[in-house]
């Protein structure tokens, strides 16, 4: 019985992944590989023969507004920051054909709880409130509906897009010490963080790309004939204010990039973030995507969108929808230990 249920859940997990893939247009990213692939690969082997929109049913819990709508109204920055996928996922599912209003016919249960919307003045989420909010949400749904207790949350999924997912902390050491929030151990986690053999990553988690506002992309598109005159491009922090030597932040990778390549004419790198950031990507051949606090960042998605070859420097990273998107044909992977030999000349 358990073996059969496990097999069924794997099938539904696959369909859920395909649904999210289709719903968020990640398929468009795959098409962009033709701009820069040199492998002769003719396209991804995306098996979309199954129609997840017809086969799968998702019940969206009607949670009190304090878990979602109210926190957005309190701070509208939530709609635009790099963790806003938890909001846009909710909006997508509310209008999706996979949604069912009858929980008895549901294959999956989704809880719309926005754990990243309580922001500091600098726009970063208060990590200390995340577990408290999630615990309160699960307590509410488990007392109002019978479905959580029926499976201990096995057929439930949550969007946890913070740096280290459901470990709810942006410092890796602290995140590892916390581990995945205990109440979510049996649930499926939809997250942007993915790293092989990491205590904040479960093998059955579904990795999705961070949300990038479509209008931010569409408002900055240059003509396809724009020459790519910059060899390597990067904009972002190299050091953290609490670690000026740079040996802690990004495991020292970003500090090494700055120290070695700041005067290299092939490298256009800076900590300043210009208004022409997206245009600059479209004028570049390679875009560095090193780890920061976490291995993932919106840069990978942005680079692919603009046809700039991502150079991912983050050991053991798990990229979004890896089973259907041919990342090896689209990305250059550089081990962290080799960051000092990026210059081919």
Tell me which CATH code domain 218-341 carries: 3.40.50
The residue whose two tokens read 């509208």 is 76
Per-residue pLDDT, 126: 85
Per-residue pLDDT, 46: 39
The confidence band for 70, taking pLDDT boundaries of 50, 70 and 90, is very high
Listed by start position, the domains of the chain span: 57-211, 218-341
The confidence band for 163, taking pLDDT boundaries of 50, 70 and 90, is very high
Looking at the predicted structure, is the pLDDT value of residue 2 above 70?
no
Q: Is residue 167 classed as helix, strand or coil in its secondary structure?
A: helix
Per-residue pLDDT, 123: 82
Mean pLDDT across the chain: 86
d(CA 40, CA 183): 46
Per-residue pLDDT, 321: 87
Spatial CA neighbour of 84 closest among 146, 159, 24: 159
HSE at residue 130, side-chain half, CA atoms within 13 A, is 29
What is the pLDDT averaged over residues 181-201? 96
Per-residue pLDDT, 16: 62
What is the pLDDT averaged over residues 71-81? 90
What is the pLDDT averaged over residues 206-223? 89
237-291 pLDDT tens trace:
999 877 666 678 999 999 999 999 999 999 999 999 899 999 999 999 999 999 9
pLDDT-wise least confident of 64-73, 117-126, 130-139: 117-126
Contact 210, 297 (CB under 8 A): yes
13-50 pLDDT tens trace:
555 665 566 555 433 433 333 333 333 434 333 344 45
The confidence band for 215, taking pLDDT boundaries of 50, 70 and 90, is confident
Per-residue pLDDT, 146: 98
Per-residue pLDDT, 10: 54
89-98 pLDDT tens trace:
999 899 988 9
302-333 pLDDT tens trace:
999 999 999 999 999 999 988 888 899 899 99
What is the pLDDT averaged over residues 184-188? 96
Beta strand residue intervals within the chain, DSSP E: 58-60, 99-100, 108-110, 156-159, 188-191, 206-207, 230-235, 267-270, 284-290, 309-313, 332-333
Spatial CA neighbour of 83 closest among 24, 25, 162, 23: 162
The confidence band for 121, taking pLDDT boundaries of 50, 70 and 90, is confident
d(CA 14, CA 307): 28
Higher local confidence (pLDDT), 46 or 108:
108
- β-pairing, 284-290 with 309-313? parallel
CA 44 distance to own-chain centroid = 20
d(CA 90, CA 92): 5
Cα 41 to Cα 36, 47, 116, 302, 330, distances in angstroms: 11, 16, 39, 22, 10
């Amino acid at each position: 019985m358990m073996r059969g249920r496990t097999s069924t859940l794997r099938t539904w997990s696959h369909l859920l992944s395909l649904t999210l893939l289709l719903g968020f247009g990640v398929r468009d990213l795959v098409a962009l590989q033709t701009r820069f692939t040199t492998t002769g690969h003719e396209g991804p082997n995306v098996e979309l023969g199954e129609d997840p929109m017809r086969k799968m049913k998702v019940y969206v819990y009607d949670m009190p507004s304090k878990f979602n709508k109210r926190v957005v109204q309190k701070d509208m920055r939530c709609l635009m920051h790099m963790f806003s996928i938890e909001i846009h996922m909710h909006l997508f599912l509310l209008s999706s054909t996979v949604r069912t209003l009858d929980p008895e016919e549901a294959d999956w249960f989704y809880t719309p709880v926005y754990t990243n919307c309580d922001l500091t003045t600098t726009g970063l989420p208060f990590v200390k409130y995340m577990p408290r909010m999630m615990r309160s949400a699960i307590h509410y749904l488990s007392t109002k509906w019978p479905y959580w207790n029926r499976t201990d949350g096995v057929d439930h999924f949550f969007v946890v897009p913070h740096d280290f997912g459901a470990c709810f902390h942006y410092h890796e050491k602290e995140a590892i010490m916390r581990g995945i929030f205990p109440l979510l151990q049996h649930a499926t986690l939809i997250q942007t963080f993915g790293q092989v053999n990491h205590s904040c990553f479960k093998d059955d988690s579904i990795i999705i790309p961070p949300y990038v506002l479509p209008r931010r992309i569409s408002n900055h598109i240059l003509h396809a004939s724009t020459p790519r005159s910059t060899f390597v491009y990067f904009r972002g922090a190299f050091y953290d204010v609490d670690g000026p030597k740079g040996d802690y932040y990004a495991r020292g990778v970003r500090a090494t990039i700055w120290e070695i390549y700041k005067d290299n004419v092939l490298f256009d790198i800076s900590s300043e973030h210009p208004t022409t950031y997206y245009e600059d990507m479209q004028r570049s051949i390679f875009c560095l995507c090193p780890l920061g606090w976490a291995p993932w960042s919106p840069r990978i998605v942005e680079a692919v969108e603009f046809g700039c070859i991502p150079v991912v420097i983050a050991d053991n990273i798990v990229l979004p929808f890896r089973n259907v998107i041919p990342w090896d044909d689209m990305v250059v992977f550089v081990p962290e230990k080799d960051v000092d030999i990026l210059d081919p000349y």
